[in-house]
Amino acid sequence: MMPGTKSGGGAEKDKHSAENDKNSAENDEIEVPKKSAETGGNHRFIVWPREERYLELSENFQIVDSLGAIDATEFEIRQPLNQLPSYTSRKCKTTIKLQIVSTHDLEIIDAAVGFPGSIGDARVLRLSPLSRALGAKLVRSNYHILGDTAYPLRQHLLVPFRNNHELEDHEMAFNRALKRTDRLWKEHLAY
């Protein structure tokens, strides 16, 4: 189960509703309906993969030992009373942020929603339950997730090499591979 999630109590009670809970930075369980023959119409929940799946998940990425990619996107909301500045994004819209970690096959393995639109992706990560749990989830492994330049480099979060010096060939190759992953990810978030 994802950190910060609720368990039990029925799907209706556990659904996170951005409209009803705009001011919360808590990470509730997010129900994802998936109607297909393989699930028999049952609901599936966003969960961090078990360690047994790490090798399988990482085989699809060009960057060794990568489990997923992280990014944040914004959703427009109605203006919250008395809190307009904090929910006004850099695009001058009233929004909340959704942070997602997705596998190469676009399976969402972590999500956090409810952050004010005015804060950056790195701060969303820092405030999210994932920030506190990522090291624990990957403590005995060399696995990591991938992020773009909006995120800080961490032990289990790889980001592009900064272009503040002349990059070496292997650094440019890494950045190109990461950019291909980032492009796939951005297409996934652009509905």
Report pLDDT digits (tens) over 97-119: 999 999 988 899 999 998 999 99
Going from the C-alpha of 3 to that of each of 34, 46, 146, the distances in angstroms are: 22, 11, 19
Strand 66-76, strand 31-33: pairing = unpaired
The reported pLDDT for the residue numbered 32 is 42
Beta bridge partners of 33: 43
Asked if residue 41 belongs to a domain, the reply is: no
> Cβ distance 160 to 175 under 8 Å?
yes
The reported pLDDT for the residue numbered 91 is 86
What are the phi and psi torsion angles at 85 (to 5°)? -60, -40
The reported pLDDT for the residue numbered 110 is 95
The reported pLDDT for the residue numbered 137 is 87
Asked if residue 87 belongs to a domain, the reply is: yes
Number of domains in the chain: 1
| Range of the structural domain that residue 165 is part of | 47-189
Whether pTM > 0.75 for this model: the answer is no
Count CB atoms within 10 A of the CB of residue 160: 21
Asked if residue 30 belongs to a domain, the reply is: no
Asked if residue 8 belongs to a domain, the reply is: no
Asked if residue 62 belongs to a domain, the reply is: yes
The reported pLDDT for the residue numbered 124 is 95
The reported pLDDT for the residue numbered 147 is 93
Asked if residue 33 belongs to a domain, the reply is: no
Asked if residue 29 belongs to a domain, the reply is: no
DSSP state of 15: -
The Cα 59–Cα 46 span in angstroms is 21
Residues of the chain with pLDDT under 50: 1-42, 191
The reported pLDDT for the residue numbered 126 is 95
Asked if residue 37 belongs to a domain, the reply is: no
Unique residue bearing structure tokens 């109590």:
9
The reported pLDDT for the residue numbered 188 is 61
Structure tokens at 132: 């506190």
The reported pLDDT for the residue numbered 99 is 94
